[in-house]
Amino acid sequence: MNDWQQARQLQWLLGRGTWPDGTQDPLFPSGCVVICTPETIRDAARDLATPFALITIGPSTADEEEPSLEANSLDVHVVQHVEGGGELNQAAVIGGLRSGGAGASAGRGVFELCERVKALVGSLTGADGLPAVARVSGAPAAAAADGMRYAAARRVTIQVAGTRLRTYPAPRRLVLTPQGGGSLKADWVLPPNRYDRRRVVLRWAAGSTPPASATTGNDVVVAVGAVTATWTPGAGTVSVAVFETYDETGSGTDERSSDPRRDAYDTATVT
C-alpha cells in the first residue's frame, strides 16, 4: 500500500475501533475520523463531535536499495472535550465522569484515547491491511485544543512501510481438488481485510492456460466471504485463476482488480 491507501486504511480501522471492555462501544463517533491537512485541524472542532481523530499524511522516504518501497509517516491527532476539570483541563487530559457509561468514550481523557489508538496500531498484522511493521513512533505531550474550552489534543505518529505505487492484493494459495463426476473444488486464502475490498472472482478455462483477468474465461459463483467453491466444468484439463476486486470510491462496483501472483493460479485434471 502507498501512503494514500495507508491513510484511508488507518481511517477505516480507527473508525471501526471499539473499547475492549465487553461493551464494544465505538472509540470515535461515526464520521469523526477524518483525513485532512495540518492547516485545517483548527477548523475541525467546529464540524466534528468529540472525541475525534484527524489523520495527516507526513513525509515519505524512498528506500535506497529498492526504489519501489517507501517509509511513510502518518500522524493521528486525537482531540477530546470533557467538562468538569476546571480551567486546567484535567478531565480532558486524564478523564472525568463517564457520562456515557463505563464502556463509552465520553468522559475519557485524551491520554486514554491515545492509549487505545496505540494499542490498535500495535496489534496490526497483514490481515488488517496495513503491514505488520506499522509502529507508533511517538506521542507528544497533550496540549490545549485550539479554540475549544475544556478540551485537550495529542498527536500519535505512526511509521509504516509501504510502496510507491498502489497495491491490490490477490487471494493466495489456490488449490484445486477434483471431486469426480466432472466436478472440481477450489480453496484459497483471502487477501488482507481492507477498506476497499469488495468480492472474490473465480474464473476457469479449459486447457493449461488460466484466465488472465477477472473478466476473461468462465465465471464461478462465489458466496460473499467464501474461501471455497465447487462447480462442474466437465472432464479434462482445467485452469483456474482467483482474483479480488476493489471499490475505492464507494461506487458499489468492481473498480480495480488484484495484482497477479503465482499462487493465485492452478491447473487440474478433472475426471
pLDDT digits (tens, 9 = 90+) for 10-56: 999 999 999 987 778 999 999 999 999 888 877 887 789 999 999 99
Per the model's pLDDT, the better-predicted residue between 136 and 77 turns out to be 77
Q: Bridge partners of 142? A: none
| SS3 (DSSP) at 262 | helix
pLDDT digits (tens, 9 = 90+) for 171-228: 999 999 999 999 999 999 999 999 999 999 999 999 999 999 999 999 999 999 999 9
